[in-house]
Amino acid sequence: MQLVHSVIKVTDIKVSRQWYSSLLFEDISQSGDGWCSWRSGVTIVSKEKWNESFSLLPDDQSPTCISLVFEVPSFDRFLHILSIRDDRASIIAGEGSYGGRRYIKLLDPDMNIVVVLESGFDYAYFSDGERNVVNNPGEIMGMESFQKKK
């Protein structure tokens, strides 16, 4: 089994689309009636579409509660970009470190928690086939060889 996307129920698709596009530094890659997705693996869905597609409970009993964790290769750059956003003070829920890596907790417009964690790798990205790690810009290794090297 492989995780394809994280799906988040939102109250206002337009507001959440803008917030996540700003957080992910990309515009949506796909959209439809009451939903939109980004290449990085996040999909937001309106309450109505959520209740139609995912909910087992009546409309108002389906809770909104999610916590997403993202790793960023340049945490200082991410914090700098976050600091120039107009809404920085209203969305930070906490800061700290975990296992020697810094993190920041943000609240999305629906009060979901988004944790942005400093990456343990110099550079990390996903390719279509498998996860690759780049230590030097010219060197690409699979996860197995990276773990052996460590």
Burial of residue 128, with CB atoms counted within 10 A of its CB: 0-12 exposed, 13-18 middle, 19 or more buried: exposed
The rounded distance, in Å, linking the Cα atoms of 19 and 86 is 11
How would you write the pLDDT of the chain (150 residues) with one tens digit per residue? 666 778 888 999 999 999 999 888 889 999 999 999 999 889 999 988 888 877 676 655 556 667 788 888 889 988 888 887 766 556 788 899 988 899 999 888 888 888 999 987 655 455 544 444 444 444 444 444 444 444
Based on the number of CB atoms within 10 Å of its own CB, is 1 exposed (0-12), middle (13-18) or buried (19 or more)? Answer: exposed
Give, in order, the Cα–Cα distances in Å from 115 to each of 6, 8, 94, 104, 135: 14, 14, 9, 6, 24
Q: Residue 150's pLDDT is what?
A: 43
pLDDT at 34 (0 to 100): 93
pTM: 0.69
Q: What is the dihedral of CA 15, 7, 94, 126, to 10 degrees?
A: -110
